């Protein structure tokens, strides 16, 4: 998320009014960090803080051409659009919207960005491997969906509420073998995993003392002991990935100390920016050039 505030050179922290209103250009922005981003600034992209209950934007306003939706808006905005890109239609959430031939089309680049970043660091690491997804929140589905397209042997979604995990398993079942299980059997599933992906908030504030390798009971010492016991069953050649932007959340720290290869959520943040940038600007820059721009923009 932070990458877009950096790239766009604008930030508006005051809430948008509750009444329906068209997007109004903000005050002239500070210079964009790179000239290549200026097209986006010049096109009138602004930041609006709002709540879903507020009708902050009128999509019938012809001046609105594209949107980037964060967090709680990803699920809310999809029903208001004219159509969804194929992956967004399956996932049911949208983070990028562009007007195409007069119709608003929703896209989701979360899973695309995660898989692109993962395969960039570890080429061919998904095919033929058992993938274990930890958590069944909003990002779990797009990531599971895109990973399922990479021909893993199976995808197992582990979650406290098995019913939520089952929804994801059912949606990706046409692509690969998929199962949903509870956290009580996490250790058993890790024992044969080749890739583990934490999509939960374990390891992020205020849960920074908890790892995704065990259920979070609130007892830090007991949960850590269970995490270590479960992690001990994970093959040393397995990769552990996290979507959190922290430099080294506890899940990755424990995995690295155990001798496993790790993959930071910062890669996803970077690699999802390239397809989103193309959709938002209409510029068809080569991916490598875009990634270089993004790296410089976020320092």
Q: Is 253 a catalytic residue?
A: no
How far, in Å, CA of 152 to CA of 131, rounded? 7
* Four-point Cα dihedral 16, 243, 172, 214, nearest 10: -120
How far, in Å, CA of 42 to CA of 120, rounded? 32
Other Cβ atoms closer than 10 A to 176: 19
Q: CA 230, 235, 170 angle in degrees (round to 5)?
A: 75
Closest CA to 234 of 252, 248, 246, 219: 252
Q: What is the DSSP letter of 243?
A: -
267-270 LR contacts (CB < 8 Å, sep 24+): 267/114, 267/117, 267/118, 267/120, 267/121, 268/110, 268/113, 268/114, 268/117, 268/243, 269/1, 269/2, 269/3, 269/113, 269/245, 269/298, 270/3, 270/113, 270/117, 270/294, 270/295, 270/298
Cα–Cα distances (Å) from 166 to 156, 177, 184, in that order, read: 10, 12, 15
Q: Which of 74, 130, 202, 278 is catalytic?
A: 74
Q: What is the DSSP letter of 108?
A: -
Strands of 103-107's sheet in order across: 66-68, 96-100, 103-107, 83-84
Active site residues: 74
């Amino acid at each position: 998320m932070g990458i877009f505030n950096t790239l766009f050179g604008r930030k508006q922290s005051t809430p948008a009014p509750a009444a329906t209103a068209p997007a109004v250009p903000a005050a002239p922005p500070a210079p964009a960090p790179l000239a290549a981003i200026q097209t986006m600034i010049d096109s009138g992209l602004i930041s609006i803080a709002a709540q879903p209950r507020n009708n902050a934007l009128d999509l019938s306003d012809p001046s609105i051409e594209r949107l980037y939706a964060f967090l709680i808006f990803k699920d809310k905005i999809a029903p208001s659009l004219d159509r969804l890109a194929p992956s967004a239609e399956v996932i049911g959430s949208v983070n990028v919207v562009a007007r195409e031939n007069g119709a608003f089309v929703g896209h989701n680049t979360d899973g695309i960005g995660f898989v692109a970043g993962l395969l960039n660091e570890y080429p061919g690491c998904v095919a033929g491997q058992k993938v274990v997804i930890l958590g069944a929140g909003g990002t779990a589905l797009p990531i599971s969906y895109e990973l399922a397209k990479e021909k893993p042997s199976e995808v197992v979604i582990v979650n406290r509420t098995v019913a939520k995990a089952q929804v994801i398993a059912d949606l990706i079942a046409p692509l690969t073998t998929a199962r949903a299980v509870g956290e009580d059997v996490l250790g058993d599933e890790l024992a044969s995993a080749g890739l583990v992906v934490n999509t939960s908030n374990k390891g992020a504030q205020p849960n920074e003392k908890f790892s995704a390798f065990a259920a979070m009971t609130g007892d830090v010492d007991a949960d850590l002991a269970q995490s270590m016991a479960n992690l001990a069953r994970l093959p040393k050649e397995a990769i552990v990935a996290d979507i959190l932007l922290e430099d080294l959340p506890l899940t990755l720290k424990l995995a690295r100390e155990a001798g496993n290869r790790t993959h930071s959520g910062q890669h996803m943040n970077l690699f999802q920016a390239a397809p989103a940038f193309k959709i938002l600007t209409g510029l068809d820059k080569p991916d490598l050039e875009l990634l270089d721009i993004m790296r410089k923009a976020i320092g």
